[in-house]
Structure 1
């Protein structure tokens, strides 16, 4: 499996200012892609793969070799077309690409052809072989026993167990989104009913609507840092929150601790940063984040894709502030 596991000591780095970079190293500027929603990037050998939903299907872009920040100039391939009927034919959201054993799996949310939001569930595609470009077989829903509204599912492994985390309604009505987790018995099957691990109770999680969504896992030897997006995604106040999980059983809600405030939020130049993913530099020595933000204040779902390096302190991630259009040094090894 190609997972985002971090050896924290090797990946700790010191933030560099634009002034210190001037004339010293190649640089890039945000945004790195002009149109983007919920970007998920995974490193595969010497390339990065960006998976996204667009038009009536799911697309994968393979970056130029050893090049994260020019990923938008890579080769883009459609890997799946939504069916013309059934439970997953419209509003395909937030696909993720995971390599497990010798196959690739795509997890995504979709709803019925009438575009009824209440119909959103998680679905899974499985590749025929070891090629991330497929072909893929649609294996239908991936759900817990409750089979309720679900989006933004993600998979991770911790201490020899596989887990699936997602955003869901507490009942059958729109109005609040919580985070749930279940153990995976296979890449396409969840065990039992999802366990509630986070509700949007803090002020920064409740702008316009009380929402927790977009979970992404950073896994170390002894902890899982579940980064999630909080508040309404169409507002400037969309931001990252952080859950820290530890112990042998992440299905125990007491295994999780929530940070009391946002860990990555708007600035005077960057608005609504959130729902991204995490990877490493081409040489594996740096931690990088890719995320979307609003094109301008009040732009809502008109978004761009940004990249920036983050660091670690005392074994925990430190994201700093969103970096706007100024020069940044390209990832190490690029």
Structure 2
């Protein structure tokens, strides 16, 4: 299993530390033993985990150490994840390849029987990060993919962490993290309607921005990594809040109340985080969700220790549900 490189991130003055200072924390943390129980660690050095189940198999979508290739692993159980073979699926030979420096947070999704991968490209020009789509050319998630291009959004702004939200009526929506304007002061969550898995059919609507103190630790303020979690007709968006370089990175929750998904009033934000640090596990965030033999799991990354910068581990935890149908993640393990 690969070891991710240090996070270059966008060219911005992060607070309370600079990018250079965060990278130094990251380097130091990787040289020291991690804190917390290691029983639940799937990958000892990793970030932005995406795991999906299909036909009794699990798939893990990630990037290589240089963040230059999208990789997909297939395995039968979570303990096998760290040793599963990672197959490079992009860049490939189908369609053009744009210029880029890094690939960020790829997600493998199965929509109407076809595999798609959503990801952001960083090209070292601050503010130009955008989202892109691949479509598989065969039923094999580890096979070849056609590059479908950039997801064109009428209000074209910095955008990362894209994911598809399928509604019960079959309508697809795209959710992601982006800037309101052209400067990096806050990352908000946006939603837009799709006409197919690689085409945006409406302008964006903001459904969450950092507003609570637990969403505003570190600067710029951050809402990112939105993921749909659907069960028994209930729809939730679980997202990451606060700076990913801080101990206070955590998960928040939006609940769909019904009606027009493009109406911000259709979404209720929980006033407190739904998954946050403990005395030994810091910065839990950027999660995906998978059900294995009837048991739901949250797959997330957390810092190796306090003040670890971007040195992170991928962890797994089974979770349950509250009586009102909302997820009960409990505390990180």
Per the TM superposition, whether the score is higher than 0.5 is: yes
1:312 aligns with 2:321: yes
Which of 74, 84, 93 is 1:74 aligned to?
84
Q: TM-score, normalised by structure 2?
A: 0.84
Counterpart of 1:146? 155
The question of whether the paired residues in 2 share the 8 Å contact of 1:222 and 1:247 is answered with no
Q: Secondary structure at the match of 1:200?
A: coil
1:300 correspondence with 2:309: yes
Deviation for aligned residue 1:247: 1.1
Per-residue CA deviation, residues 229-279 of structure 1 (Å, 9 max, x unaligned), is 000011110000000012132111100000001110011110100002000
- Write the distance in 2 (CA, Å) between the matches of 1:72 and 1:138: 28
Q: How does 1:240-279 map to 2 (within 5 A)?
A: 240-279=251-290
Equivalent pairs, count: 289
2:173 aligned with 1:181, yes or no?
A: no
CA contact (8 A) 2:239 2:252 kept: yes
Could you tell me how far 1:143 is from its partner in structure 2? Answer: 2.9
Shift of 1:88: 4.9
Partner Cα separation in structure 2 for residue 157 and residue 296 of structure 1: 36
C-alpha distance in 2 between matches for 1:227 and 1:269: 23
Change (3 A) 1:87 1:175: farther
Give the 3-state SS of the residue equivalent to 1:211 in structure 2.
Answer: strand
1:98 aligned residue: 109
Provide the rounded CA distance (Å) in 1 between the counterparts of 2:283 and 2:142: 31
Structure 1 residues 301 and 44, CA gap change in structure 2 (3 angstroms): same
Say whether 1:60 aligns with 2:60: no
Q: Distance in 1 between matches of 2:79 and 2:179?
A: 35
Given the alignment, which residue of 111, 134, 138 partners 1:129?
Answer: 138
Deviation string 1:11-40 (CA, Å, 9 cap, x unpaired) is xxxxxxxxxxxxxxxxx9121111111000
Q: 1:50 aligns with which of 60, 64, 71?
A: 60
Say if 1:92 and 1:82 are closer, same or farther in 2 by CA, change over 3 A: farther
Q: Which runs of 4+ in 1 moved over 3 A?
A: 85-88
Contact 2:110 2:116 in 1 (8 A): yes
Equivalent residues of 2:42, 2:78 under 8 A apart = no
SS state of the match for residue 214, structure 2?
helix
What is the CA–CA distance in structure 2 between the aligned matches of 1:239 and 1:81, rounded to whole Å? 32
Q: Give the alignment's Cα RMSD to 1 decimal.
A: 1.6
Shift of 1:101: 2.1
CA contact (8 A) 2:106 2:117 kept: yes
State whether residues 104 and 122 of structure 2, in contact with CA within 8 Å, keep that contact through their aligned partners in structure 1. Answer: no
Equivalent position of 1:9 in the other structure: none
Once the 2 structures are TM-superposed, how far is the Cα of residue 82 of structure 1 from its aligned partner? 8.1
